[in-house]
Structure 1
Amino acid sequence: MLRSAFFLRLISIVILLHVYIGARLIPALPVGSPFKWGAAALLVLSVLLIPLGMAARNIKQQPLSDLLAWTGYLVMGFFSSLLVLTALRDIALLVLLAVNSLRGNSAAADVISASAACVPVLAVALTLLGVYNARRNAPVKIIDVPIAGLAAALNGFSIVQITDIHIGPTIKRGYVEKIVATVNGLKADLIAVTGDVVDGTVPQLAADARPLGGLSARHGTFFVTGNHEYYAGADNWVAEFRRLGFKVLMNEHVIVNHDGAQAIVAGVTDYGAGSHDPAHASDPAKAMRGAPEDILFRLLLAHQPRSAAAASAAGFTLQLSGHTHGGQFLPWNFFIRLQQPFVHGLDRLNDLWVYTSRGTGYWGPPIRLAAPSEITFLRLVAAPPIA
């Protein structure tokens, strides 16, 4: 019932935003332009396709379900660009109106008309660019993390992080196989998978997720749950990932022995997991419980960056997170900080390093703009002594 009410509110907002775009662009098109009726028809079609794409997962028939999802998500991405560009056009026209008023001039009708025609053209171009960025194989991003007091044997210890793949209606087995091939080619000491791997149930997506069982690293592949695992049946996915050979860490740690040195590798369930299952409540302190105090390097895998405050208090050295997608595409890049302390990249909180990945896949619209996907290759390096 609550989900239905939310969906209805969301559709209402989407309709109002389409009305805003239509009201601002269509009347401004040249008089007698054949594109006016076409633009109106496309906006009506967009209003229908976006909610249909979002609801496509409830349609069991394939390939219809995936086709509707692809179509709806593409239209959603185009609509987002169209909305942003329409708003930017209005701001630019207001500035132009103010300048012209000061000069005693009137706003040029040809500027208003030309700008209205340019908005959908630019929106199409941005959508195509975003699809290219999202669908290409995620590039490798190399990060050196300076660690004070790092054991000599751990200098150069490598971790490959993948996160937020979101296997689902638009990300399938072939996409996953490319990720696995790239990761294995890096020959890391450890692989960290920090949640949101899937957007669907085990029966729906097990075949597409199966290539992940081929991930290979000296000390194995470690996994923690993200919020999307809980939307899709976390217990079943935990069992499936264990079957694929992942070492699933649920508020617990293991000790890794590497060339005579030791490191603590811990993981917590998603920050909001407790609202889905109280037994899964995220707890960095619990993950550290019983760990030897003489092991100085302590790694925490936590899906959301906002686990960092508790991780710092628990004495971790480095936290690897995802969840944010770096915003994925404009304008959402600017809103992430309203929910998360870190958006992307390497940050510091007290004595804790936090690395937030932009994600290896994408969610929803197959679009990335100003927020490229990544496969992250992290190397531990000894921090120079403080003078």
Structure 2
Amino acid sequence: MPHVPQIRIPATYMRGGTSKGVFFRLEDLPERARVPGEARDRLLMRVIGSPDPYAKQIDGMGGATSSTSKTVIVSRSSQADHDVDYLFGQVSIDSEFVDWSGNCGNLSSAVGSFAVAAGMIDAERIPENGIVTVRIWQANIRKTIIAHVPITHGEVQETGDFELDGVTFPAAEVEIEFLDPADEGEGGGSMFPTGNLIDNLEVPGVGTLKATMINAGIPTIFVNAEDIGYSGAEMQEAINGDPAALKRFETIRAHGAVRMGLFKHVDEALKRQHTPKVAFVAPPVDYVSSSGKQVLASEVDLLVRAMSMGKLHHAMMGTAAVAIGTAAAIPGTLVNLASGGSERTSVRFGHPSGTLRVGAEATRKGGEWSVTKAIMSRSARVLMEGWVRVPADSF
């Protein structure tokens, strides 16, 4: 019988922050996958190796975690005053689904570097040595991201001495700014969709929890660690090895999603795990990170643990870090209260892999809070470039 050949598609495998993903130029995709729809989704799922009932993604580029089951499509921008359009697809591991509802803050740090290396930035703007500013249109959430990409000898500098907890080796620092990051996702309206800094969230089977629900970076539901039986210093195995805990977090997330107006019914939220996120916060305590490094209470303002695609994240999602920085800057939120309750323009928080600092500029006018930008430093590096191959009949 005849065998279906494999086709090859130009691609770059990159690390951005604490995530990894397969990057494509839009023009390099097969024609029927250059537009949103079933063909694109099926192609990306096959590249990553999903859906995989074994949850290993052995037959693809994915790494069987939410941090490594990611795809990015970049093109020259269709928006005024922007350089490139960036589209992010979170590929489900064990189900047939690509979630386009949100951004990946970690991979955002790699988009500028990819754009420069791919020739999408005019050569005259790239210094021999220095920084090139890349204005990125995040097409999923229709927001602007500015990446400050280091350049050495006319090329992207990837090596350096910047250390990022959750990433083993040092690299070059990439500063990224998320402009006007509030009001992300599908909820619309205010940064605080319920109109409150803290709500009483009723969750069947769990109880009534104090919750801060915010649209900034990515829609996020914050609860107090103590209220759900945790210290805030938990490692991945404490949560991910407990099926009852995972189910409880999904229940909290689903009911919070409905309360935020992201979905009409809980069942809808349970089918889409990328948004919103759910995180729990606590005042600082000493703990040992997953790498064995001691994190002292005196080194951080608060502790945060966050769930991503149904599992506790090994570090912190970049978009959730934006939500943390924004909420910390607004007096009265659970995040702000856990960090001491004072006014602040930046916060350093402890996560399972170590610590992270994020800044945010929040203002209040007419009773409404707004945030002009959130800033953090990440790093990015090309891991492999060339082609990915998929069976021709897979999409």
The TM tier, using the shorter chain, reads: under 0.3
- Rg larger for: 1
- The TM-score with structure 1 as length reference comes to 0.24
Higher strand share goes to which structure? 2
- The TM-score with structure 2 as length reference comes to 0.24
Higher helix share goes to which structure? 1
